[in-house]
Amino acid sequence: MTIWLAQHGAALRLALTRLAAAPLNTLLSLLAIGIALALPAGGQMLLGNGMQLARNATPQPQLSVFMVPGADSKATAAVADHLRHHPQVRSVEALAKEDTLARMKSSGGLKDVIEVLGRNPFPDAFVVTPGKDDVETMESLATEFRQLAKVGHVQLDSDWVRRLNALLKLGRTGVGLLTLLLGAGLVAITFNIIRLQVVTMRAEMELSRLLGATDDFIRRPFLYYGSVLGVAGGIFALGLVAAAAASLNEPLTELTSLYGLPLDFAGLPATDAGLLLLLAAGLGWSGAALSLQQYLRD
């Protein structure tokens, strides 16, 4: 066990020594890996803020159900009854057309227009809060309510949130693809770095095998090298993302407040950052392993 620890410690030390021995190379590698990781990490951060925005903007998504103009009170009562007893509806607020008319009259500009019309142009309406607020439930409820007798129009009052959600879904797919692509890029980067190292260290590796080194012994420092490079690149990426967050914070908060939307711009959460470092270590390790497999095969 202590020998095992000592061997791993030695391999890690060797990896760090090799990194420090070529500082310019190391720096450029870190730059490449850092940027490759910063893109999906930055995307993830923006996505997180978008999701926060979508959440805050709709505390309670609702459906507005309008009766056809001139629907009689019996039809309205039937619809009200249906809505109130629907299992997927949490609450129903009825807006009688008389109340609406009164409210509209009291709100300035519309008063004259309404008086010209001479009759009540507003239909009876209901504001429905469903039990679940996912898009599918909302849609199916809207479709169902549209078919009720004398219902003229059903509106999802959170259409723009739905659009934002669709956009976020797209964004998530995008970030996923980006992660996949740039993750593969990271594997390719470490693969090549290690391959070059193997070329320069071939004599030493050959000698080690002749002196009784196992494949693991030869592989180990390179694997550490790959993962240290990955983690260091990941830290660099997190730095880039934090810098981006700092410079985006003010303009974004200002922009969203212009739309009356509360946004508390947040950087990448700690779990995501940890995940990123883990991923970077794993990818660096894999790149190195692939590279060595090629060498150790013969």
Binding residues for another protein, per CB under 8 A?
2-3, 6-7, 10, 203-204, 206-215, 217
Smaller CB separation from another protein, 13 or 163: 13
Smaller CB separation from another protein, 14 or 35: 14
Closest distance of CB 209 from another protein, Å:
7
Closest distance of CB 228 from another protein, Å:
20
**At 91, which helix (H) or strand (E)?**
strand 89-95
Q: Over the Cα atoms of the chain, what is R_g?
A: 31
Closest distance of CB 2 from another protein, Å:
7
Residue type, 14: L
Closest distance of CB 225 from another protein, Å:
17
Contact 165, 54 (CB under 8 A): yes
Q: Cα–Cα distance between 69 and 97 in angstroms, integer? A: 9
| Four-residue CA torsion sign, 259, 261, 262, 266 | negative
The pairing of strands 63-67 and 89-95 is unpaired
Q: Cα–Cα distance between 121 and 117 in angstroms, integer? A: 8
Smaller CB separation from another protein, 212 or 260: 212
Instruction: Tell me phi and psi for residue 155, to 5 degrees.
Output: -125, 135
Closest distance of CB 291 from another protein, Å:
19
Smaller CB separation from another protein, 3 or 270: 3
Closest distance of CB 214 from another protein, Å:
5
Smaller CB separation from another protein, 98 or 215: 215
Smaller CB separation from another protein, 199 or 211: 211
Residues 6+ apart with CB under 8 A from 163: none
What are the angstrom distances between the C-alpha of 109 and each of 98, 251, 291?
18, 35, 75
Q: Cα–Cα distance between 167 and 187 in angstroms, integer? A: 30
Joined tokens for residue 115:
């008086």
Smaller CB separation from another protein, 81 or 206: 206
Closest distance of CB 226 from another protein, Å:
21
DSSP 42-82: HHHHHHHHHHHHHHHH-SS--EEEEEPTT--HHHHHHHHHH
